[in-house]
Structure 1
Amino acid sequence: MRVEGLKLTPVSSAGIEQNASEVASGSKNFGEFLTEALGEVNQLQNDSAKASFDLAAGKLQDVSQVTIAAEKANIAIQLTMQVRNKMIDAYQEVMRMQV
């Protein structure tokens, strides 16, 4: 039995360099990143609700699309809650510091 080598496609670093330059130049602050991330979570929640309504109305025949949209929204909200919890823990830790 012959085993062939993997054919890997090269990874472009253009997007990574652009994000790194944005961070280095300070074009976005933490509040803007947070607002953008919360907007994306909200959009996923809206997409999930729309998919559910479309399934109930008979516009969608594929249940897997609704399930995937619901799971994406669920994972995004869980991640958001975990980030929130970590931020609160960090804030409380800073408040406990003695100066």
Structure 2
Amino acid sequence: MDISSISSSIGPLQTKQESNLVKNTGDKSFADMLKDAVNEVNDSQIQGYDAMEGIATGKVKNLQEAVQKIEEADLSLKLALEVKNKAIAAYKEINSMQV
């Protein structure tokens, strides 16, 4: 059974997420993507602090949303710290390699 004609007409397979990722990143450099990620974490932290302030002052109308924003801020910060730790560990490992 010859499937070469089928595979050549289909082309390379790519998921929707991969194609969206390529479209979204465009010509951004790694530094720009890193800055964007840090800004997203910072925005999340600001929203979390605002939610905490709202809870403390009693200005919050929906307690569940406020707690959700606080949890999202906490999780995003933990994720950012883990990514940083992994990047530093990888950098140290690459530095220790003999060329």
Category of TM-score, reference length = shorter chain? 0.7 to 0.9
Residue identity over aligned pairs, in percent, reads: 31
2: CA distance between counterparts of 1:51 and 1:71? Answer: 10
1:9-45 alpha-carbon deviations (Å, 9 max, x no partner): xxxx87753431454xx61111111100010000000
**What TM-score results when the alignment is normalised by the length of structure 2?**
0.74
User: Normalising by structure 1, what TM-score?
Assistant: 0.74
Aligned residue pairs total 85
The aligned counterpart of 2:59 is 59
Distance 2:45 2:24 in 1: 28
- Map 1:1-99; keep pairs closer than 5 Å: 17-21=19-23, 23=25, 27-99=27-99
Change (3 A) 1:87 1:57: same
After superposition, the Cα gap between the structure-2 partners of 1:16 and 1:93, relative to the gap in structure 1 and judged at 3 Å, is: closer
Moved over 4 A (4+): 13-16
Flag the structure with higher helix content: 2
Q: Is the 8 A contact 1:55 1:61 kept in 2?
A: no
1:66 Cα deviation after fit: 1.8
Q: Deviation of residue 52 (structure 1)?
A: 1.3
SS in 2 for 1:52: helix
> Shift in Å at residue 64 of structure 1?
1.3
3-state SS in 2 of match to 1:45: helix
Q: CA RMSD of the aligned region, Å?
A: 2.0
Describe the SS at the equivalent of 1:98: coil
> Structure 1 regions of 5+ residues with no counterpart?
1-12
CA distance in 2 between counterparts of 1:55 and 1:21 reads: 40
